[in-house]
């Protein structure tokens, strides 16, 4: 308890509060730029922390992490250009609200949901880190494989209007995910002699192409003069109303739990969390606007991906196992200060550890303040003329695609996926299932390979583990629901 008290005392120092505020603001800016992910934002600042006090440096890294995950929602809502892959589901309903003149409300819902999700996961990290770490240890390759398969089975659920076309798009996404070198035998698959495809289809350029570039092409084609948003709508209250809270509080709570759990599982991340939470919200919601500008859908996406932040630090701080790419960078930040993750971190360096944990609460408060105060400024982006908006989206798409690997081939690939996404939209083929296939396909394959290696080629043990049984039940249920939707559509 004394360590928690000293941690709170450290965070409340003016210098640390200032660092947390600046770190959050920097993170929001990084997250809002397609291609500059939370991983990049944290990685850029790790060297700067070397000469800082360890507690102050870790506070800054935690603030950047929280800010960047939230920041991606701003461009996702206003331009349908997700700042990070975890904000893809945000762009679906957020952008629809923008087109209806409700950009301010969408930003308010997003900000509040992000704050609650992030605070929930920070509380989980503070109170129950050791038990949660023990739970994460139970997730080996078999469990991660079945988690990915469960994610893939929600493909049809994401497209209730065209379930069969959604299934086809999902299968195509999984096929595309097999591109690259087969690490087990060294064979090349679908690379066509292009070095840029040897490591597989890069995730970010393909997602930017399918989501953002396709939208830019559609805007140019429609030649609309302006996104329909009026100054009267901009002056509407940004904060959600009591009625809004009544609609979304259950969804936010459920999605925060899902996001925290997904964050704890090594190898999962914000994208997986947002897709699963979005799907679960869709199943339980009676909102007819779901997918067309629903505040329930928007809150599910943002609360879950921000809940991953605290969850991903649980296995890192307690066991030294990075939950995702950002926590792997965090590990470097700990090590350069001589802090070794594990039980000693809580006993010998408890004051520093709890300073980091408590700083996440203040980072989320800063996120809430900056998000709400900046909403009326951000919303002006949605008022620009088409002849400015389309080039802006294209420019951000090009920069985002190039920034990840500094490879011009990725830009070419992004344009290719933009054309594919445009063709799919024109023919009522939803892009969401393809995106899901591209993201989860490689995870499922790599974890299956590891499982088969562990069990010497025997598939049966994969399905006999306790947690595996839970996922098998969820997979069967998901397939049953999807089959019912397809049959209902046929009839």
Query: Which alpha helices (H) appear in 209-294, and where do they start and end?
Result: 214-222, 231-234, 242-264, 270-284
Q: Would the pTM count as exceeding 0.95?
A: no
Residue spans per domain, the chain: 2-490
What's the pLDDT score for residue 341?
Answer: 82
What's the pLDDT score for residue 229?
Answer: 44
Alpha carbons 170 and 178: distance in angstroms, whole number = 13
The helix or strand, by DSSP H or E, that contains position 2, with its residue range, turns out to be helix 2-11
DSSP-derived secondary structure for 350-369: HHHHHHHHHHHHHHHHHHHH
Alpha carbons 480 and 162: distance in angstroms, whole number = 17
DSSP-derived secondary structure for 108-136: HHHHHHHHHHHHHHHHHHHHHHHHHHHHH
Are 58 and 45 in contact by the 8 Å Cβ rule? The answer is no
Alpha carbons 257 and 307: distance in angstroms, whole number = 8
Query: For every one of its 491 residues, what pLDDT tens digit does the chain have, with 9 covering 90 and above?
Result: 677 888 899 999 999 999 999 999 999 988 887 666 787 788 778 878 888 899 999 999 999 999 999 998 988 898 888 877 788 889 889 988 988 888 889 999 999 999 999 999 999 998 887 676 666 667 788 988 888 888 787 776 666 667 788 888 888 998 998 898 887 777 888 888 888 888 888 877 888 888 778 878 887 887 654 444 444 344 456 888 899 899 999 999 999 999 999 888 766 678 888 888 988 888 887 777 787 889 999 999 999 999 999 888 888 888 776 767 788 778 888 888 888 887 778 778 888 889 999 999 999 999 999 999 988 788 776 566 667 767 877 887 888 788 767 889 999 999 999 999 999 988 988 887 888 788 788 888 888 988 988 888 888 888 888 888 888 998 888 788 777 767 776 66
At 245 the three-state DSSP class reads helix
Count CB-CB contacts under 10 A for residue 454: 14
**Residues for the chain: how many in total?**
491
Instruction: Pick the closest to residue 393 from 95, 110, 158 (CA basis).
Output: 95
DSSP-derived secondary structure for 20-70: HHHHHHHHHHHHHSTT--HHHHHHHHTGGGGGS-HHHHHHHHHHHHHHHHH
What's the pLDDT score for residue 19?
Answer: 95
Query: How much is the CA Rg of the chain, to the nearest whole Å?
Result: 22
């Amino acid at each position: 308890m004394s360590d928690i008290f000293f941690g709170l005392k450290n965070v409340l120092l003016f210098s640390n509060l200032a660092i947390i505020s600046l770190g959050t603001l920097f993170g929001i800016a990084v997250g809002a730029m397609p291609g500059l992910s939370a991983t990049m934002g944290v990685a850029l600042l790790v060297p700067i922390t070397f000469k800082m006090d360890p507690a102050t440096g870790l506070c800054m890294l935690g603030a950047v992490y929280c800010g960047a995950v939230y920041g991606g929602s701003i461009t996702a809502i206003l331009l349908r250009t997700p700042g990070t892959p975890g904000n893809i589901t945000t762009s679906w309903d957020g952008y629809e609200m923008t087109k209806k003149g409700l950009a301010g409300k969408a930003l308010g819902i997003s900000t509040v949901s992000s704050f609650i999700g992030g605070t929930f996961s920070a509380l989980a990290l503070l109170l129950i880190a050791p038990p949660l770490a023990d739970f994460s240890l139970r997730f080996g390759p078999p469990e991660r494989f079945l988690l990915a398969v469960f994610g893939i089975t929600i493909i049809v659920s994401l497209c209730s209007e065209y379930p069969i076309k959604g299934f086809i798009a999902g299968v195509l996404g999984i096929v595309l995910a097999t591109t690259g070198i087969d690490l087990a035998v060294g064979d090349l698959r679908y690379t066509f002699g292009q070095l840029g495809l040897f490591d597989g289809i890069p995730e970010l350029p393909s997602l930017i192409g399918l989501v953002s570039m396709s939208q830019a092409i559609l805007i140019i084609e429609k030649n609309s003069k302006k996104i329909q948003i009026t100054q009267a709508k901009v002056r509407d209250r940004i904060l959600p109303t009591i009625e809004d809270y009544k609609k979304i509080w259950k969804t936010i709570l459920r999605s925060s739990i899902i996001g925290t759990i997904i964050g704890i599982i090594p190898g999962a991340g914000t994208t997986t969390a947002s897709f699963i939470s979005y799907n679960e919200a869709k199943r339980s919601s009676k909102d007819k606007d779901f997918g067309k500008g629903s505040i329930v859908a928007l809150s599910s996406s943002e609360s879950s991906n921000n809940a991953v932040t605290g969850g991903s630090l649980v296995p890192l701080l307690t066991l030294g196992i990075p939950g995702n790419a950002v926590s792997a960078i965090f590990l470097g930040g700990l090590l350069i200060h001589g802090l070794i993750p594990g039980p000693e971190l809580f006993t010998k360096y408890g004051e520093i550890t709890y300073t980091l944990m408590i700083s996440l609460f203040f980072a989320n408060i800063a996120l809430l303040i900056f998000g709400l105060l900046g909403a009326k400024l951000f919303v002006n982006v949605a008022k620009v003329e088409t002849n400015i908006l389309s080039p802006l989206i294209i420019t951000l798409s090009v920069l985002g695609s190039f920034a990840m690997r500094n490879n011009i081939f990725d830009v070419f690939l992004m344009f290719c996926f933009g054309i594919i996404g445009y063709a799919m939209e024109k023919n009522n083929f939803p892009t969401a299932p393809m995106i899901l296939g591209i993201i989860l396909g490689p995870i499922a394959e790599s974890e299956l390979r590891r499982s088969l290696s562990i069990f010497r080629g025997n598939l049966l043990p994969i399905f006999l583990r306790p947690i595996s049984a839970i996922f098998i039940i969820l997979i069967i249920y998901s397939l049953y629901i999807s089959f019912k939707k397809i049959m209902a559509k046929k009839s």
